[in-house]
Amino acid sequence: ETKQAQAAHMVQTARQRHAAASQKVDRETKQAQALELLQHAQRKQAAAAQQKNRQAQQAQAATLMRQAQTQQQAAIQKEIRESQQAQAPALVTELAQQQEAQLAQQAAQRQQALTDKYAAIDCVGERAYEILKDLGSFDN
């Protein structure tokens, strides 16, 4: 009976140890799974934070790019205005010279036309009459 009791006790102890070991393995497995889930969540959270930082940096870079473009366009417009203002007096002078030359040429052509017209008139009286008429001395 004692051997049987000892054997039964040993079997029971072995079963208890096996159950305890099994529970320990289950507990450690669950802890390992929980740790793995926690690490996965932390990695996911870190990746989301990095993505958010990248997006913020991209938005900031885009804003800086737009500001730089706006400043560059303003500088170009200012340079164009200053260039036009610097060129304006020279252009006005050039235009005035061109108009003066054109008027001188027209006056010379008109003078030549009148000279030719008057030279074609043989009679001095008729010539004088045409000259006075061209000068607007007579009301028509």
Domain boundaries defined on the chain: 2-134
Q: 48 pLDDT exceeds 80?
A: yes
Q: How many CB atoms lie within 10 A of CB 6?
A: 10
Residue 82: its pLDDT value, please? 94
Alpha carbons 140 and 115: distance in angstroms, whole number: 23
- In this prediction, residue 135 has a pLDDT band, given cuts at 50, 70 and 90, of confident
Q: How far is CA 120 from CA 94, 112, 126, 130, in A?
A: 39, 12, 11, 11
Is this prediction's pTM over 0.95? no
Alpha carbons 7 and 35: distance in angstroms, whole number: 41
Each residue's pLDDT tens digit, 113-126: 999 999 999 999 99
Query: If you average pLDDT over residues 85-103, what whole number do you get?
Result: 92
Q: 138 pLDDT exceeds 80?
A: no
